[in-house]
Every structure is written in C-alpha cells, then in structure tokens.
Amino acid sequence: MPATASAPNDPNDPSALTARALLLDMDGTLVNSDAVVERVWRRWALRHGLDPDAALKVVHGRQGYATMALLLPDRPMELNHAENRELLAEETADLDGVVPVPGAPAFLAAVATLPHALVTSADAALAAARMGAAGLPMPELRVTAECVSASKPDPEGFLKGAAELGFAPADCVVFEDSEAGVAAGRAAGMRVVGVGPRAAAYAPDLHVPDLTRLRVEVTADGVIRLAATA
C-alpha cells in the first residue's frame, strides 16, 4: 500500500502543505515558454480568423487539440489532432525565449531525491526540447501527451503520475500555473501549489509568485513540507 502523508496541511502552519509525492507541470511552472506559445498560437488564430487574444486565454495548460475544439467547436476532431501535430513541431523547433521559471533549478535540485514526476500537456519531444533549452534536468518519471487519452482539465495525467509513483492521490501535491491544470489537480483529488500570476486567479491551496518563494523541507519519515516564503 502507498504511504500516507501525516496531514494535508502542517498543523503548525495552516498555510503550508505536506505530501509524499509531487506532480509537476512544465510550461509556466518550471519553464517559461510564453513567448513561443504566443507566437505559435497567434499565427494559428489569425489563420482561422479568430481573435488571438481570445485564443491565448484558453490555450495554457491544454493539449493543442483540446484548445482547438474549444475555439472551433464545429470542426471534426481528426482535423484538430492533425493540426495539433503541426503545431507541436513548430513549438519544438522554436526555442527562442524559453527560460526557466525563477527558482526552478534550485527547486528541482531540492526534490531530486524525492518522489516526483513531470505531468505535462507537451509531447515527449517538446518536453525534452523545452527542459533542455531552459537548462533543467528532466524528471525520471514523465507523463506526457502520448501517455494519456484526455487533456487537462481531465485528471488522467495526474492520476497516472500518482499511480506510477505508487502513492494515493491524497498524498500528492500538484504544481500548476493554468486554469486547466489547477482544475485537473483538483479533479484528481490532489492539493495544488499555484505558481505564477495566472495561477493566483484560481485559488490554489498555496500560491507563490515563482519558485524562489517556495521552501521545501523533508521530515525524517519522508513527509515533504511545502511553504511560501516572504
């Protein structure tokens, strides 16, 4: 049976979270890829006669085909999947402006020996390209677009990550930046650390402006404690 965290929150600090395993989104959480996302999706929206600003309000956190389905609801899904493959190739080739979220290198070093997984809407090639461009180590366990049948906000990716790590959902904390990602974490029955300005609007269990403002501690029995710093 998977281990169980001692409590969902630290009794000595109700604003802190405790967990046994961490599930990490990539874009906006570990890697700042906003510049690429905006370039690619603005071009796509204009090609389809859509408002680029409106498109960018729903693109974050989702797989591309799911964004297309929201914006072009009458289009056959097979066309969305085909065009999504084209956009993934564009994004993988465009790494200009891809940088780590502040504090991401130190954060990943702090959790390197702890149970954690990357759970991203990117496919494996895009995840490798962006993590590499940002100079970040790739977690050993990765749940990428190819691993799931449904995009965030569906909880499938996070549930799969928890299962592969060997922990119950209640023992996991999700790190996310987007509305779709926060919703997916909650639907999975997990608590959520929101990273960055987008996440603040979705009332995560704990919010930090970036990863420089997060403290990670581990108790002798392996409980991970996460707290925001001033």
Per-residue pLDDT for the chain (230 aa), expressed as one digit of tens each?
333 333 356 555 657 999 999 999 999 999 999 999 999 999 999 999 999 998 998 888 888 999 999 999 999 999 999 999 999 999 999 999 999 999 999 999 999 999 999 999 999 999 999 999 999 999 999 999 999 999 999 999 999 999 999 999 999 999 999 999 999 999 999 999 999 999 999 999 999 999 999 999 999 999 999 999 98
153 cis-preceded (ω within 30 degrees of 0): yes
Instruction: Assess contact for 139 and 44: CB atoms under 8 A.
Output: no
Catalytic hit among 27, 34, 123, 154? 27
Question: Is 25 labeled as catalytic in the residue annotation?
Answer: yes
| Residues 52, 57: Cα–Cα separation, whole Å | 9
Question: Is 27 labeled as catalytic in the residue annotation?
Answer: yes
Longest dimension (CA), the chain: 57
Instruction: Assess contact for 92 and 23: CB atoms under 8 A.
Output: no
| Residues 192, 195: Cα–Cα separation, whole Å | 9
Residue with tokens 């309000």: 57
pTM above 0.75, yes or no: yes
